[in-house]
Amino acid sequence: MVEQTQQAWDEECDVLVFGSGGGGMSAALFAARAGLQVMVCEKRKYLGGTTATSGGGIWVPGTPGGLAAGDTIERAREYLRWELGDHYRSDIIDAFLAQGAGIVETLNTQTDVKFELSSWPDYHSDEPGGAKKGRTLFPAPFDGKRLGRDFALLQPPMHRIMVLGGLMLGPDEVPDFLRPLSSVRAFKRVFAKLARYALDWLRFGRGTDLRSGNAMIASMMYSMPRDRVSLRTQHALVELLKENGRVVGAVVQGSAGTRRIRARRAVVLATGGFPHDKDMLRTYGPKFPHKQSLGCEANVGEGIKSALAVGAAMDTDLNSVANWTPASVMRDRQGREIPVIYGYLDRGRPGVIAVDAKGRRFVNESSSYHDIVSAMFKHSGGEGTFHFVCDLAFARRHGLGAVRPWPWTRSLSSFVRSGYLTMASSLPELARAIGADEATLTETVQRHNANCKTGVDVDFGRGATAYNRMFGHVTGQPNPNLAPIGAPPYLALRIHAASLGTTIGLKTTADAQVVGVDGQPIDGLYACGNDLAAAFRGRYPGGGTTLGPAVVFGALAAQHITKLTRPAD
């Protein structure tokens, strides 16, 4: 920590933001719209962080579309009280519910950042206050060409989840690409999409029809008043600077060397938490040991560490150290492990089961990704893996991890040779290959198949909730979430616990001011995104649990900076 009465500054701005994900960009956008001079510093060469490679959903109750669908703020509060239990913080939740919908409406009506209501239900929609529709929104598609030369600054989506290496698809477009010859209309849509992609690839090296989190960051970049916002890539936070107890700036390492940047109003930390810092994970999450994360690989906690160095307090009273997803693991050409997220196409579909090391089911496979991993931790008592088991027909129809549905993947031989998939001609053979008990795995599959005939999952209630049924399929009858594991060959895919991002973080006020170890707000210092302790306390109420609060508390930080703080002398 540096605290002096006199500082020599290389540059100045009103608000200095570290990190360019949804939280940091929201803070920057709202501060700039209020007339403040903003500098966004991103240590990587691209903008967008984890947000740019995410699904981009935000969970925000009370929007006009949500209210029209029957949602209310009071029902949302009831749901969060049930969801968070003893970890409920009324000041944080009250601020989120009171301001969230208005912040989203401001973006929708006064900027080019647009969110559209989805049909996704809450992940526990049958519980008190839960909603079957109205709280999860997704970014509208955005034309990346509108960014001009700034398009080169945008973090590309994950290569492995795009078509042909650079083409993004929205959920509404997937059926056409799976069956392009099913109708003249489908063929025309696929042809038009591919033709546009071909032109984009020649000019930009990837598609410009942006979806999901990529669309969110691109639209935020486009909406920035560029005369009031400086976007700096390859600018890393070194340390925060204080004068007379107030954070007044930071030391930044950029391509031109180390510079001291003054923040006349405030510094906002939005560096993405610490999903890739092993020491911090051991310190704050010893009950959740894991190796994989879908969070941006550059997120190693420097925002949190810098705040702790100036006297900030951590908030550790959360349900979990991270938000979770099942993930399989591939290796790239350099031999590095690459996590593959639990996919949109195979997630929760009928015909696949999750089994533990002995070959027993332990969870409702159509539950949310977070709930599946939480169940794994509870079941295994610590670090562990499990396997998804299915037949070949399932993989051809829905895909399996990195395996895409037929005809996009015509052969599984390379996946089997690499060890990514295990294939066997019988269930006992499959059990031996994955280290499970032969009789147990065989009995588990037989019991599952019997449940499929009755339509009732007597063990875990699969198919009983609205969220479960969203991933149903016509192959499941009479329960759309249950289909038998049929004829061989059989497949097994090893699954690991992977974080989507950390939840334990800096303690803040409801206005996103960082709180010190003395219990008082630190003047001039704010946090949002995964640098502050999660509003939902390590629980996962619905799609967009991470990005909804990130956008809202980024905006609340900007509003507080604008209204209640004064420039440093």
pLDDT digit string, tens, across residues 283-335: 999 999 999 999 999 999 999 999 999 999 999 999 999 999 999 999 888 88
Mean pLDDT along residues 455-467: 96
pLDDT digit string, tens, across residues 190-228: 778 788 878 878 888 888 999 999 999 999 999 999 899
To the nearest 10°, report the CA torsion of 329, 332, 337, 338: -60
Instruction: Measure Cα distances from 446 to 78, 443, 495 in Å.
Output: 40, 5, 22
- Give the model's pLDDT for residue 22: 98
Tokens 């939902």 locate to 536
pLDDT digit string, tens, across residues 91-120: 999 999 999 999 999 999 999 999 999 999
pLDDT digit string, tens, across residues 385-411: 999 999 999 999 999 999 988 877 889
Tokens 């099913």 locate to 182
pLDDT at 5 over 60: no
Residue type, 148: G
Strands 421-424 and 385-391: unpaired
What is the distance, to the nearest Å, from the Cα of residue 204 to the centroid of all Cα atoms in its chain? 26
Answer yes or no: are the C-beta atoms of 247 and 237 closer than 8 Å: no
3-class secondary structure per residue, 476-522:
CCCCCCCCCCCCCCEEEEEEEEEEEEECCEECECCCCEEEECCCCEE
pTM of the prediction? 0.94
- Give the model's pLDDT for residue 161: 60
* Percent of the chain at pLDDT exceeding 70: 96
Q: How many helices (H) and strands (E) does the chain have?
A: 17, 23
d(CA 250, CA 7): 11
Instruction: Measure Cα distances from 520 to 199, 260, 535 in Å.
Output: 55, 26, 19
Phi-psi region of 237 (alpha: psi -120 to 50; beta: other; left: phi over 0): beta
d(CA 311, CA 515): 9
Instruction: Measure Cα distances from 14 to 34, 38, 380, 439, 525 in Å.
Output: 11, 6, 50, 67, 12
All domains in the chain, ordered by first residue: 2-139+214-319+503-564 (3.50.50.60), 142-213 (no CATH), 323-499 (3.90.700.10)
**CA-wise closest residue to 123 among 541, 548, 549:** 541
